[in-house]
Amino acid sequence: MRFAFERKLWQQGYKLVAGIDEVGRGPLAGPIVAAAVVFPPNIKLRGLEDSKKVSAAKREALALKIKQRALAIGISQVSHKKIDELRIGKADLLAMKQAVVGLQFLPDYLLIDGKRNQLDLEIEQLCLIDGDARCASVAAASIVAKVFRDKIMLEYHKKYPDYLFHQHKGYGTRAHIKKIKQYGPCPIHRRSFFPVSQFAQT
């Protein structure tokens, strides 16, 4: 994946261009995690792809390369409770905004995955449909966020082993839904999400 969007902005004089993406909109449990990645101008980094299209082992290796080469990385998570409070759309935007604010410096341009993810920040920004498949910085953010969130879900598996979070990472697989029906929701399930809402008593 090439840095076409970034290169155009670098040529226009923007030096600190951040790619932003999130993972975890769809799962029935756990947090949503967003990342913001700023690369130095004219970087060359092979192998960047949408995090959903590469294996876990390759994501880990790419995440390490990204951390070594990036000027700055910001990571944010919004809890399952906050998702239930705000609903997923607002929680998504909050996570991405916090990832940007969490950078060591504020970038001067944002490239954001999605078509309606304009962030409430006084920074120029562009929303890119399928940005994680088209824009290298956004793909990098998706990889960093995915690796970070998967580690969170592996820790939750240790705490709630009956739900098999190490396998599905909270997504609504048949096996996961079967466990919810069998045991009821655990503390990290999103009560506002169907079908969790069917089985949640509190």
pLDDT at 201 over 70: no
pTM of the model: 0.93
DSSP state of 176: H
90: tokens are 């607002």
Q: Are 160 and 168 in contact (CB under 8 A)?
A: no
The answer for residues whose C-beta is within 8 angstroms of residue 7's C-beta and 6 or more apart is 42
What domains can be seen in the chain, in order of their start residue? 4-159 (3.30.420.10)
140-187 pLDDT, tens digit per residue, is 999 999 999 999 999 999 999 999 999 999 999 999 999 999 999 999
Half-sphere exposure (Cβ direction) of 94: Cα atoms closer than 13 Å: 16
Nearest CA to 18 among 145, 146, 125? 125
Q: How far apart are CA 58 and CA 73, in angstroms?
A: 19
pLDDT score at 56? 86
The whole-angstrom distance between residue 120's C-alpha and the CA centroid of its chain comes to 18
67-102 pLDDT, tens digit per residue, is 999 999 999 999 999 999 999 999 999 999 999 999
